Chains A and B, each alone.
Chain A
């Protein structure tokens, strides 16, 4: 394999690569050995601590409800945030100053505030409302926080998606006599949906990860909270963290893979104009002013 930075290795380079590989393996092995020894020393490797995960009990009582909590909050937030984001994204592109400026201010404001602050605030606000049962409050607060933040990020995605279409599309639409609203709904939006689909799917990863915040800070019953009750029961701190981390990795990795598969498929497809927003592009394409770091949060 060659790359920009080096040629196909010759005999000397091959030898050097082997030496580096060996050194690297030794370092990694030392680290793993230390981890193993410490875990063994603290009794975290005892089978009794790992056994619960092979029984149905730990899954049905702790992990499954936790995962369900995570997925429920993430799915609901996505479903509410998407249309809201679309409205704000389109409003930011409006020809009318009085629509464009306030929409832009709202989007930029919620993008520059940490989700945690939004969740804490919503939680406290709902505590004052007599209409919300106290056991439902964390769920509402988590969803509110996620919706406010992610709809503003999705607004940027929508805006970037519409801007990524060639200008000729709009001009052609005007030329055949379509009005602004018609151009948007029958020409621009249908095309931009395919353009931004990968970026939207990618945003799901951020939402799934952020539900964990609701777990530690406002006692929402998601996976991380489930882990702590589970660990309190079986005294298996490290194993429980490893299992929960693996669940998150598998979940998010499948979302990421799906997003990039979709992106590749759309890029190859003949029906689009060729522009596709990948999950990583989303923020780069948005205004540089207060980029939110799409996948980072």
Chain B
């Protein structure tokens, strides 16, 4: 029944999806935190930049960003991410770069809503004992904010997992691009789609369950 799987590297394609997800998740967490810090910082210019970045990036389709990374960034600006001869590697790294830039905006928004859940008194107390802005943020506010936004961040991670499929648009050999090839060449369209759908359910369902449970456990009870 599943003979059609032979000759195709389904596991390899999903491994590529997982790699895209993991690298992009780490990158967007770092960039998103930085952007959130900018958006709440005392320097008006940085606040403005953070706001502009989030509003612009959120409203552009990820597809446009990824296609631009290949046709614009790589071809015109010469940004090859240190892999100018290896097109596969270059596509992978450009996809990660785009995914990071796009999802950082959503991580930033989630974190900012988390910062708002920290009671004002805590930040006031931190300032009262003489902590600076960055110390208040690093030692008092962000640790609590992170714990309260695990569930929204899990939602961003799940969306990121699904959005990695867009990388197929610039030729990254991940799950969606393999599925496209397979349903064009093989007869069992429904079975093939079911296999790939199952793969994504396996990837996203545990993420939601585990992080949802963790979010409930770690949330600061107030």
Interface residues of A in 106-130 (CB under 8 A from B): 108-109, 112-117, 120-121, 124-125, 128
- B22 interface residue per 8 A CB criterion: no
Instruction: With A4-B116, A224-B64 given, name 7 new contacts (CB 8 A).
Output: A117-B196, A120-B179, A213-B166, A215-B63, A256-B58, A291-B212, A297-B162
Stretch at the interface among B7-15, B85-93, B203-211: B203-211
Closest to B196 in A: A117
Say what secondary structure dominates the interface of chain B: helix
Query: Chain B, 105-124, contact with A by CB distance < 8 Å: what is the 0/1 string?
Result: 01001000101101010010
Chain B residues near A256: list those with CB within 8 A: 58-59
A4 to B124 CA separation, bound complex (whole angstroms): 7
Closest 10 CB pairs of A and B: A293-B159, A288-B212, A296-B159, A252-B59, A291-B155, A212-B63, A209-B61, A212-B61, A114-B162, A293-B155
Chain B residue numbers with a CB within 8 Å of A108 are: 205
Q: Is the CB of A293 within 8 A of B158?
A: yes
Q: Which of A188-207 contact B (CB under 8 A)?
A: 205
B59 touches A249 (CB 8 A): yes
**A221 to chain B: closest CB distance in Å?**
15
A280 at the interface (CB under 8 A from B): yes
Instruction: Decide if B208 touches A288 in the complex (CB within 8 Å).
Output: yes
Complex contact B151–A13 (CB within 8 A) = no
Interface residues of B in 41-65 (CB under 8 A from A): 42-46, 49, 55-56, 58-64
A4 contacts across to B, CB distance below 8 A: 40, 115-116, 118, 120, 123, 141
Residue from A17, A25, A121, A249 whose CB has the most chain B CB atoms within 10 Å:
A121
Check B77 for interface membership: any CB of A closer than 8 A: yes
The interface-forming segment of A37-45, A56-64, A171-179 is A37-45
Q: Which residues of B approach A to under 8 Å, CB–CB?
A: 40, 42-46, 49, 55-56, 58-64, 67-68, 71-72, 75-78, 103, 106, 109, 113, 115-116, 118, 120, 123, 127, 133, 136-137, 141, 151-152, 154-156, 158-160, 162-163, 165-166, 168-169, 175-176, 179-180, 183-184, 189-190, 193, 196-197, 200-201, 204-205, 208-209, 211-212, 215-216
A–B Cβ pairs within 8 angstroms, 10 of them: A4-B40, A5-B133, A6-B127, A38-B77, A120-B193, A212-B61, A216-B169, A241-B72, A245-B68, A284-B151
Count A-B pairs with CB separation below 8 Å. 202
Q: How far is the CA of A3 from the CA of B196 in the complex (A)?
A: 48
- Contact at B63–A213, with CB atoms within 8 Å? yes
A73 within 8 A of B: no
Q: How far is the CB of A218 from chain B (nearest CB, A)?
A: 9
Chain B residues with CB below 8 A from A124, complex form? 183-184, 189
- Closest partner residue, chain B, to A19 (CB atom): B43
Chain A residues in 8 Å Cβ range of B184: 124
Instruction: Select one of A42, A211, A248, A296 contacting B106, CB under 8 A.
Output: A296
CB-defined contacts of A44 to chain B, threshold 8 Å: 76
Q: Tell me the A residues contacting B by CB distance below 8 Å.
A: 3-7, 9, 13, 17, 20-21, 24-25, 28, 35, 38-39, 42, 44, 108-109, 112-117, 120-121, 124-125, 128, 205, 208-213, 215-217, 224, 237-238, 241, 244-245, 248-249, 251-253, 256, 280, 283-284, 288-297
- Once A209-B61, A212-B61, A245-B60 are accepted as A-B contacts, the answer to whether A9 and B42 lie under 8 Å apart by CB is yes
| Candidates A113, A121, A241; contact of B200 at CB < 8 Å | A113
Residues of A within 8 A of B120 (CB): 4
Is B60 touching A288 in the complex (CB atoms < 8 A)? no
Measured CA separation A5–B158 after assembly (Å): 31
Cβ–Cβ contact A121 & B183, under 8 A: yes
Which residues on A sit within 8 Å (CB–CB) of B197? 109, 113, 117
**Cβ–Cβ < 8 Å partners of A213 in chain B:** 61, 63, 166, 169
Residues of B within 8 A of A252 (CB): 58-60
Given the contacts A24-B45, A237-B75, A293-B106, A116 and B168 also touching, CB distance less than 8 Å: yes
Q: A38-B77, A289-B212, A290-B208 are in contact. Are A112 and B155 (CB under 8 A)?
A: no
